[in-house]
């Protein structure tokens, strides 16, 4: 190989590497710039009115978190597709109230705005879901269950609008379908929901497993013994449901959760990077 041939080959290799680097970084850069432009837009006055009238949790937020939540809502509404089902009409009220409750979970955190989520399906009320299961004998069984919400790792969240409104209207009852399903979305960022969202560092993962595992076991024992549970009994169904139920309580009943499960509250506060006790 001559020196000229070697130089040309090196130049070609560098060009290929540069093209690959540009391909890898161009899309995230475009996304970041687009989101910056969206966040720079004035927050619509009508959206602010909707939040003021329909979401007490919004009114309780400190001013800095309110401002941050407004920016999160703008990006969420711009990026996610909302689909009405069974005659449900998608309006700004639907988009904004769902976005506002979902984005409570990503305040104060570096976020890709629920990157795995493409669309939100909204029904007027409770919806039926058909499930199938094959038993050990190879016989397939099907059953229908009524849901107020559902989260899929395949890019969908399904919500009942009347439950969304009820969750927004009462910020202290510990029940919020949007918070619950979007907690599942966070849990599903590293695969199927299992009660352990992505965490950095082996020590933190181990601490989360120990603290949340003990809290889950306590709830499970209380439900099995028919004792007054520390959280919604539905949280005893699985570690994934425990995380979602605990998240609802963290944002809506922080005093209760901090008193009943102080270590779990501390883990959730560290994960979500907020402290609802001071709101």
Q: Give pLDDT tens digits for 213-250.
A: 999 999 999 999 999 999 999 999 999 999 999 999 99
**CA 104 to CA 107: how far, in whole Å?**
6
Q: Are 48 and 55 in contact (CB under 8 A)?
A: no
**CA 70 to CA 61: how far, in whole Å?**
11
Residue 81 has pLDDT above 70, yes or no: yes
Residue 202 has pLDDT above 90, yes or no: yes
Q: What percent of the chain has pLDDT over 90?
A: 78
* pLDDT recorded at residue 112: 92
Enumerate the β-bridge partners of residue 130: 144
* pLDDT recorded at residue 264: 98
**CA 121 to CA 81: how far, in whole Å?**
8
**CA 96 to CA 50: how far, in whole Å?**
8
What stretches of the chain adopt beta strand conformation (E)?
Answer: 81-84, 119-123, 127-134, 140-147, 149-152, 156-160
Residue 268 has pLDDT above 50, yes or no: yes
* Range of weakest confidence among 15-19, 62-66, 156-160: 15-19
What stretches of 99-237 adopt beta strand conformation (E)?
Answer: 119-123, 127-134, 140-147, 149-152, 156-160
Q: Which DSSP state fits 90?
A: P
**CA 90 to CA 108: how far, in whole Å?**
29
**CA 212 to CA 246: how far, in whole Å?**
9
Residue with tokens 């999160």: 72
| Number of residues that make up the chain | 279
Q: What is the average per-residue pLDDT within 256-279?
A: 97
Residue 16 has pLDDT above 60, yes or no: no
Instruction: Please say whether the structural domain 194-279 has been given the CATH code 3.40.390.10.
Output: yes
Report residue 141's pLDDT band, with 50, 70 and 90 as the boundaries: very low
């Amino acid at each position: 190989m001559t020196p000229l041939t070697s130089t040309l080959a090196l130049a070609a290799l560098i060009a290929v590497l540069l093209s690959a680097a540009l391909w890898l970084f161009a899309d995230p850069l475009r996304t970041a710039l687009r989101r910056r432009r969206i966040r720079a837009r004035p927050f619509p006055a009508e959206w602010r009115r909707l939040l003021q009238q329909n979401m007490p949790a919004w009114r309780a937020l400190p001013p800095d978190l309110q401002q941050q939540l407004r920016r999160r809502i703008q990006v969420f509404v711009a990026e996610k597709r909302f689909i009405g089902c069974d005659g449900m009409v998608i309006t700004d009220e639907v988009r904004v109230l769902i976005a506002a409750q979902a984005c409570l979970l990503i305040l104060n955190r570096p976020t890709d705005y629920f990157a795995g989520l493409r669309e939100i399906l909204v029904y007027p009320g409770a919806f039926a879901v058909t499930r199938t299961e094959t038993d050990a004998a190879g016989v397939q069984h099907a059953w229908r269950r009524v849901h107020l919400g559902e989260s899929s790792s395949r890019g969908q969240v399904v919500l009942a609008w009347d439950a969304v409104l009820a969750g927004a209207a009462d910020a202290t009852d510990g029940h919020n379908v949007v918070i619950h399903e979007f907690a599942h979305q966070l849990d599903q960022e590293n695969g199927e929901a299992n009660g352990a969202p992505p965490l950095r560092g082996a020590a933190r993962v181990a601490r989360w497993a120990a603290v949340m595992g003990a809290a889950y076991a306590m709830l499970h024992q209380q439900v099995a013994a028919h004792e007054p549970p520390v959280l919604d009994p539905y949280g005893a169904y699985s570690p994934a449901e425990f995380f979602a139920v605990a998240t609802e309580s963290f944002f809506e009943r922080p005093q209760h959760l901090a008193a009943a499960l102080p270590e779990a509250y501390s883990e959730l506060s560290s994960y979500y990077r907020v402290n609802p006790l001071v709101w």
